[in-house]
């Protein structure tokens, strides 16, 4: 893992976990998957472990060209159906409002929830950020609120 500039410190308190302090910037992820590799494979595995296979949604699919790897299949969801689709595909509680703002950890940009995309893969409907084709941000990469201040996280 590469570190971004800023004040990042990694250490282990008692050998059982990692203490991560981040101020102003975050740890940079490795570059995107190489040609032919699937974007966000680990995240898809995580979501698949909490999300059962589901029937196809009743919307047409279109090819979504990815920055790297094979194209994804994206649903074309009409605006009037977006809230219903969000509520049926959002894997956590509470479900955000369509007008809520989220931060995509991969793209490092804010977006309005209503701009989400849903892709179809492995018999599942995955909720992803509007930046998915560029950087692979899925619903598990959405921060609820802007992270302005320094924060300390303990990962057991």
Q: Identify the bridge partners of residue 85 per DSSP, sorted by sequence position.
A: none
Does pTM surpass 0.85? no
Instruction: Give the per-residue pLDDT at 61.
Output: 98
Q: Going residue by residue through the chain, which has 156 residues, state the pLDDT in tens, using 9 for 90 and above.
A: 443 433 333 333 334 333 333 434 444 444 444 444 677 788 889 989 989 999 999 999 999 999 988 999 999 999 999 999 999 999 999 999 999 999 999 999 999 999 999 999 999 999 999 999 999 999 999 998 665 444 444 455
DSSP state of 140: G
Helix, strand, coil % over all residues of the chain, rounded to 5: 20, 30, 50
Residue from 134, 114, 124, 131 nearest 91 by CA:
124
């Amino acid at each position: 893992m590469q570190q971004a500039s800023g004040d990042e410190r990694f250490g282990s308190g008692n050998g059982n976990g990692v203490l991560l302090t981040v101020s102003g910037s975050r740890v940079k992820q490795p570059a995107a998957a190489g040609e032919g590799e699937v974007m966000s494979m680990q995240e898809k595995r995580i979501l698949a472990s909490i999300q059962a296979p589901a029937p196809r949604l009743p919307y047409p699919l279109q090819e979504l060209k990815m920055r790297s790897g094979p194209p994804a299949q994206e649903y074309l969801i009409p605006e009037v159906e977006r809230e219903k689709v969000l509520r049926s595909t959002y894997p956590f509680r509470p479900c955000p409002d369509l007008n809520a703002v989220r931060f995509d950890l991969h793209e490092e940009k804010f977006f309005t929830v209503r701009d989400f995309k849903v892709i179809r893969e492995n018999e599942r409907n995955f909720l992803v950020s509007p930046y998915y084709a560029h950087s692979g941000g899925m619903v598990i990469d959405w921060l609820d609120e802007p992270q302005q201040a320094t924060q300390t996280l303990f990962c057991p």
